[in-house]
A and B are shown apart, each in its own frame.
Chain A
Amino acid sequence: GAVVSQHPSWVICKSGTSVKIECRSLDFQATTMFWYRQFPKQSLMLMATSNEGSKATYEQGVEKDKFLINHASLTLSTLTVTSAHPEDSSFYICSARGLAGESYNEQFFGPGTRLTVL
């Protein structure tokens, strides 16, 4: 099956610093990647949709200047949490949609990145 990796798997940082999270599709090309955030005991909330070579589309209420998304290639998207604060502490999960074939409509999820801001 299609594999999506995320790096790092967890990160602890001080308030005010920026954190970059990478999402890679390892064995397929992904035209579209999605970034989600999940707080404890809550549902995954879509933050933004990222298309290769174009600007990300952010969901209502998500600050695009705080959560910078770059999707420079068909296998890599990055999410940078700028000037992180404790309320940004969460589980960030990416998913990737396949380019073609059987996996075209399915989203494959990365293992997630747990961010803790002190």
Chain B
Amino acid sequence: RKEVEQDPGPFNVPEGATVAFNCTYSNSASQSFFWYRQDCRKEPKLLMSVYSSGNEDGRFTAQLNRASQYISLLIRDSKLSDSATYLCVSEPSGGYNKLIFGAGTRLAVHP
């Protein structure tokens, strides 16, 4: 079983739509979680960290449910520029900053 699992998609949505991505992780000792965005043939870029209390950054909202070992990302009012692959990432405790990446969920926003 992969440590971080995501639905690969693709999610094809029109501009303005709200879309949600889910992710599960298997290591209950993982301490920190992140969402990264990766454009085609580019490096991943940090989108936001994920906190137990939930956090919001503009149109993006991230949630963490430790009991279910589940992480989500909600994107409201989708823009064409949101088209990318979204990577769910966990950082195991005591792992010296090792990051465990999910395979990513592809989002395509169309006009």
Q: Is the CB of B103 within 8 A of A114?
A: no
Number of B residues with CB within 8 Å of any CB on chain A: 19
Are B103 and A41 within 8 A (Cβ)? yes
Contact B42 A112 (CB under 8 A): yes
Cβ of B97 under 8 Å from chain A: yes
A41-B103, A93-B43 known; 19 new pairs, CB 8 Å cut-off, are A32-B96, A34-B97, A41-B8, A43-B101, A43-B102, A43-B103, A43-B104, A45-B101, A46-B98, A46-B100, A91-B41, A93-B44, A95-B99, A105-B97, A110-B43, A111-B42, A112-B41, A112-B42, A114-B41
Q: Answer whether residue A24 sits at the interface, using C-beta atoms and an 8 A cutoff.
A: no
* Cβ B44 vs Cβ A109 within 8 A: yes
Q: Tell me the bound Cα distance from A10 to B42 in angstroms.
A: 12
Cβ-defined partner of A112 (8 Å) among B43, B101, B102: B43
B97 touches A97 (CB 8 A): yes
What 1/0 mask marks residues of chain B from 79 to 111 whose CB sits below 8 Å from any chain A CB? Answer: 000000001000000001111111110000000
- Kindly state whether residue A44 has any CB partner on chain B within 8 Å: yes
Q: Considering the complex, give the chain A residue whose CB is closest to the CB of B88.
A: A43
8 residue pairs from A and B, CB less than 8 Å apart: A42-B103, A43-B102, A44-B99, A49-B98, A93-B43, A105-B97, A106-B46, A109-B44
Give complex CA distance A18, B106 in Å: 34
Min C-beta distance of A21 to chain B, whole Å: 13
Q: Does B45 contact A (CB under 8 A)?
A: yes
Give Cα A31 to B73, complex, Å.
31
Distance A90 CA – B93 CA, assembled complex (angstroms): 29
Alpha-carbon separation in the docked complex, A95 to B46 (Å): 12
- Chain A's closest residue to B45 (CB) is A109
Complex Cα spacing A75 to B22, Å: 36
When C-beta atoms are compared, the residue in chain B nearest to A109 turns out to be B43
Closest to B2 in A: A43
Please, which residues of chain A bring their CB within 8 A of the CB of B8?
41
Judged by a CB distance under 8 angstroms, whether A82 is at the interface is no
A48 to chain B, nearest CB (A): 10
